[in-house]
Amino acid sequence: MDKKIDDVLKKIEKLEKSQGFGSVPRSTGQFLHMLLLATKTKQVLELGCSLGYSAIWMALAVKENRGHIYTTEIDKQRAHLAKEHFSETKLNDVITLYEKDIFEVLANWNHGEIDFVFIDAKKEDYKKYYEAVLPLLKKGGLIVADDVGKFKEQVKPFLEKVNKDLCVVSQFLDVDDGLMLIYKK
């Protein structure tokens, strides 16, 4: 990896350690990066950007795949810092950051079918995000939801819904805070 990009990732890791902005651990970032490369994913939507840490990992893969990542952050201060990080990594040409509420972004979505969604915002709203995003996801697309092990109780309605849904297959991965992988048939 380019040293400048790794420096930005390390800077965000330090901020995470001292102030806790909710960034995924490095190993989850690496996993997302590898998954997007392996699936040759082009069109990514992230729900919950914070300082842009996971978005940078995914943007690295999407750039190689000649695709684009859209991400959302409602908190102005976090969005401002994320934008700085995207400029510093020079990945801003493959990232669009919406400083808006997730539901507003989804309601006005006009970028065609989505290949891959990363859910990492308010845990109690996971079920609503899933229901809103599923019709926008292509058949054969993937959803990865973070924190489903760590916040098991908060995401329970989401997990119950996924388990009942006949149009998807899913698998829990015990990586870091727990990832749910969902494939749309």
Structure tokens belonging to residue 44: 């990514």
* Structural contact between residues 68 and 94, judged by C-beta atoms closer than 8 angstroms: yes
* Residues 10 and 85: beta-carbon distance below 8 Å: no
**48 is a site residue for ligand SAM (CB under 6 A):** yes
For residue 66, count CB atoms less than 10 angstroms from its CB and return exposed for 0-12, middle for 13-18, buried for 19 or more.
exposed
Which position among 15, 37, 74, 136 is part of the footprint of ligand SAM (CB under 6 A)?
Answer: 74
Out of 8, 23, 31, 91, the only residue in the binding site for ligand SAM (CB under 6 A) is 23
Q: Is 75 in the site for ligand SAM (CB under 6 A)?
A: yes
Neighbouring residues of 92: CB distance < 8 A, sequence distance ≥ 6: 83, 86
136 touching ligand SAM, by CB under 6 A = no
Interaction between residue 102 and ligand SAM (CB under 6 A): yes
Site for ligand SAM contains 24 (CB under 6 A): yes
Is 89 one of the binding residues for ligand SAM (CB under 6 A)?
Answer: no
Binding of ligand SAM by 149 (CB under 6 A): no
